[in-house]
Structure 1
Amino acid sequence: MGVGLCVLAAPEIIVGAVIVAGVVVVGFALQEALDAYELLGDEPEVVIPAPETRPVPETKPAPQEPLPEKRPKPEPKGPDFPPVGPTEVSERERRPECKPRRVPPKGGNKLHNKCADGIKFNAYRGANALVNGKAFDALQVVAGVLWEVKTDNYDSYPLELQDIVVGKHVRDFLIERELARACGFDFRVGVRSAAHKKALEYAEPALENLIVVMDWC
């Protein structure tokens, strides 16, 4: 046999070639390889199935707890004790016993009446102002101040009498101050002597700034 050389375009034909002792033998394998190559063109393409996708289960969001409602901060409270001094009260809001009434002055002491009438803006000159059961010597309506006047000649009294007078006046003035404040009025005291004023304030510090020396009488 002669030596035959066959060059095939498809690599699959080389598989059918058998090499024996340096001689390329092309037998029926060549024809079978050609037939097999033609058959390969007719086979359908193998379609690789796409990977199956499974839906991811949806996760429901956890319910959010409602935020606690913000409570308003309590406003800071003031002290428990009542305010010092009389409260402003209009004439219409006053109780019947707190509405000033004009009454005749007690006694016939001309000096006492002169000192009371000499108080500036006294609306009850020649009379007393009856408020809360007490006949006060003067009333300054606009300022809302009730007055009590003392015309004692304190400087001429002996020491024992001075102590007695001061003790009585302190008791009376504290009571009269509360009667006036209960009806929304302030309270003042008029005396004729600086020594009298000093003795009263020393005996009762609560009377400080309430006592006035009447330099007009």
Structure 2
Amino acid sequence: MAVAIKEALDEADWPDAAEYPIPIQRNESAEREASRNRKPSPQPSGQDLFPPSPRDPFERDRRPECRPTLGPPRGGNEPHNECADKIPGNSFPGFNVFINGKHYDALVLARRTLWEVKTDNFEKHSPRSRNFFVSVKLPELQREAKLARECGYDFVIGVRSEAHRTALKLADPSLHVVIMDWC
């Protein structure tokens, strides 16, 4: 399966894909053993086959701004970058992903989900500061969610505390906010 994913990604027309090759581990002895033990199967008649899938997994996006472009993490905040790299299923740890004019912290290709990570010590601030913080950050988070949806991606905001999650959900219940218990 990893080989098929690697081949699909290699065929994708990503401008920066050649700069950031995706390492795929292969167990060649296991592949040889599996092919040696495989029994020949009859050729299909063609009537029971699924229609061919597009070679490019982002073909349906056709708009160039919706195709992921890899880039280095921005901002220089190492704890923030480590949290982003550890997002379950992160397809490109160590990189940000530029889509639709926005740099996102992570992309989970298998779920077509873009992530924005917030590592602030939210619970250590006074209630007044928390409210101010949410009112300042909320419009940008809503814009990021809209840009992701325009390109067919889900959008998740990762935070470190229940207080931060609750404040964001109260401000906008439509946001998908999760606590990053891995940070």
Q: Name the TM-score, length of structure 2 as normaliser.
A: 0.67
Deviations 1:71-120 (A, max 9, x none): xxxxxxxxxxxxxxxxxx94112210100000111121111001100101
Residue in structure 2 matched with residue 136 of structure 1 by the alignment: 104
- The separation in 2 between residues aligned to 1:169 and 1:138, in whole angstroms, is 19
Where does residue 163 of structure 1 map in the other structure?
A: 131
Shift of 1:175: 0.5
Match of 2:58, SS? coil
How many Å separate the matches in 2 of 1:139 and 1:106? 15
Partner of 2:39: none
SS of the residue corresponding to residue 141 of structure 2 reads helix
Matched to 2:177, the amino acid is I
Question: Equivalent residue of 1:190, what SS?
Answer: strand
2:89 to 81, 106, 121: 121
Aligned length: 127
Following superposition, which runs of at least 4 residues in structure 1 exceed 4 angstroms of deviation?
Answer: none
TM-score (norm 1): 0.57
Write the letter of the residue equivalent to 1:91.
F
Aligned ranges 1:39-50 → 2 under 5 Å: none
Alignment correspondent of 2:9 = none
Q: 1:102 aligns with which of 50, 70, 79?
A: 70
- 1:203 CA drift (Å): 1.5
Q: Look up the SS of the partner of 1:129 in the other structure.
A: strand
Displacement, 1:165? 1.0
Percent identity of equivalent pairs: 46
Worse-superposed segment, 131-140 or 153-162:
153-162
In structure 2, runs of 5+ residues without a counterpart are 1-55
Corresponding residue SS for 1:142: helix
**1:153 equivalent in alignment to 2:121:** yes
Unpaired segments of 5 or more residues in structure 1? Answer: 1-88
Larger Rg: 1
**Cα-to-partner distance string for 1:123-180 (whole Å, 9 max, x where unaligned):** 1211101000100000000100000000010011122211111112221111101100
More helix by share: 2
The answer on 1:214 being equivalent to 2:180 is yes
d(CA) in 2 for partners of 1:108, 1:164 = 24
2:58 equivalent in structure 1? 91
Structure 1 range deviating more: 109-118 or 159-168: 159-168
